[in-house]
Amino acid sequence: MSEKETVRTRIAPSPTGLPHIGNFRTIVFNWLFARHHGGQFVVRIEDTDVARRVEGAVEAMLEGLRWLGLDWDEGPIVGGPYGPYLQSQRLPIYQEQAERLIAQGNAYYCFCTPERLTAMREEQQRQKQPPGYDRICRTLSKEEVDERRAQGLVPVIRFRVPLEGSTSFHDLIHGDITFPNAALDDFVIIKSDGYPTYHLAHMVDDHLMRITHVMRADEWISSTPRHILLYQALGWEPPKFAHVPQILGPDRAKLSKRHGATSVIAYKELGYLPEAMLNYLSLLGWAYDASTEIMSRDELVRYFSIEKINKTGAIFDITKLDWMNGHYIRRLSVSDLTSRLMPYLETAGLTTEKDRSYVEQIVPLIQERIRKLSEVGELTDFFFAATLEYDSKLLVPKGLDAAAALVALRAARERLVPLAEWNREALESAIRPLAEALAIKTGQLFGVLRVASTGKTAAPPLFETMEVLGRERVMARIDAAEKKLEQAVQSA
């Protein structure tokens, strides 16, 4: 890359489905590369596959970009000098280039019906021949073309692939790659409905939008010779290509829904932080060095390079993503984390913004334990409950019976009632020595109190939790637990 060249990368999603992890990992790489070189990042919507278009897919893509903080210099909403940025609004441009290719002898009209093409493929399968168009329309004369059009037949336009020789290109990740032209068929560039195929539309747009680097999934490697031939036929300089290996599941199969959520928006809804997701996606197939895992946005931009992208597929490890998300959660201020948790608490019906100050007291108690924001409900529901529902058996720790647990709970209550201060220090000073006096283990005493106060055997630190719950709520819950244990003793 010359020093004078301004790097321009693009992402060109097709709205045929919701954006998944693989899409966004490639998007992240494009964005990082553009930002690293002080270039431009372009968003272009390839919406020419009308039959498979999914409602809301474009909006989901843009939402994902905004969530991850991946700003774009040109594209939908922001505009730019090379618009429009929706391919469906650029159809005359593609038609013009296709007709130019016909005039040059690099393309031709094909009138083969879908039925004929289906029969052709079935025959090729029976003959165990490689699939591909048999080029029957390649030699049609102008008169034959006009005759078929007069009959009302609507053609597609196919590119005339050279029958001999080979086509080569250099890939910035995989190196030099060559395909024999005999392995390529005469592919369609304009469909019968007038819409272009990906092969023509994307390369015309990349040229006109002055894209310098095309970074995309490695499933497009086998199609790249077609694109090189199109560039050559139009006399245009192709961009530099970098084909990124796919993302794999833990079983090393291509990542799919059976491995869990694949939509980026789904991860947002599950409570992953955008800064954690950006960090994790950046390390799926790229690494700064052998050990660095936590990297800020600025560090990722500073150090990213195509040369360090792996040639093999990256494993999507949800356990590592959870760890990384937890790491970022623990780095947040209490106020920031509270703001991010409030929507989840409100959705769960536990609290509203008016109780934010109470939530801010709770947050420090769970910040070390929570891995994703969506877990806040199950970790904190007892803080908001009017009454607790739990099995009385939980009040009886291992090594005690119901009668002993009842004695311990009553003794604890007697220590708590006269307390002048209701804070962690006062609570612990009153309760901790009680275990020795009762000749039971500290864990057993704390276990009875924990269940009585929270309804759970696992909860945040006991005395900090009791402090936040407050004297009135804790004492009412201890009284309710005492009745549960009394009934258990009577029925024993």
Tell me the residue type at 305.
S
The CATH architecture assigned to 332-382 reads: Orthogonal Bundle (1.10)
SS3 243: strand
The CATH architecture assigned to 90-244 reads: 3-Layer(aba) Sandwich (3.40)
End-to-end CA distance of the chain: 82
The predicted structure's pLDDT at residue 492: 73
SS3 286: strand
Same topology, domains 8-86+247-315 and 90-244? Answer is: yes
Between strands 188-190 and 314-315, the pairing is unpaired
**pTM given for the model:** 0.91
Domain spans of the chain?
8-86+247-315, 90-244, 332-382, 392-491
Residue 27 exposed, middle or buried by CB count within 10 Å (0-12, 13-18, 19+): buried
Catalytic residue, chosen from 128, 257, 354, 398, is: 257
**Domain 392-491 grouped into CATH 1.10.10.350:** yes
The predicted structure's pLDDT at residue 261: 60
The answer to whether 191 is a known catalytic residue is: no
Task: Using alpha carbons, select from 190, 244, 195, 217 the residue that is nearest to residue 86.
Answer: 195
Residue 21 to residue 19: CA distance in whole angstroms: 7
Per-residue pLDDT for the chain (492 aa), expressed as one digit of tens each? 445 689 999 999 888 888 888 889 999 999 999 999 999 999 999 998 888 888 888 999 999 999 999 999 999 999 999 999 999 999 999 999 999 999 999 999 999 999 999 999 999 999 988 888 999 999 999 999 999 999 999 999 999 999 999 999 999 999 999 999 999 999 999 999 999 999 999 999 999 999 999 999 999 999 999 999 999 999 999 999 999 999 998 888 888 766 666 788 899 999 999 999 999 999 999 999 999 999 999 999 999 999 999 999 999 999 999 999 999 999 999 999 999 999 999 999 999 999 999 999 999 999 999 999 999 999 999 999 999 999 999 999 999 999 999 999 999 999 999 999 999 999 999 999 999 999 999 999 999 999 999 999 999 999 999 999 999 999 999 999 999 999 999 987
Distances (CA, A) of 131 to 120, 181, 482: 9, 14, 78
Per-residue tokens: 259: 């491995």
Overall CATH class of domain 8-86+247-315: alpha beta
Cβ atoms of 457 and 443 closer than 8 Å: no
Q: What is the DSSP string of 121-188?
A: HHHHHHTTPPP----TTTT--HHHHHHHHHTT---EEEE---SSSEEEEEETTTEEEEEEGGG----E
Task: Using alpha carbons, select from 369, 448, 434 the residue that is nearest to residue 404.
Answer: 448
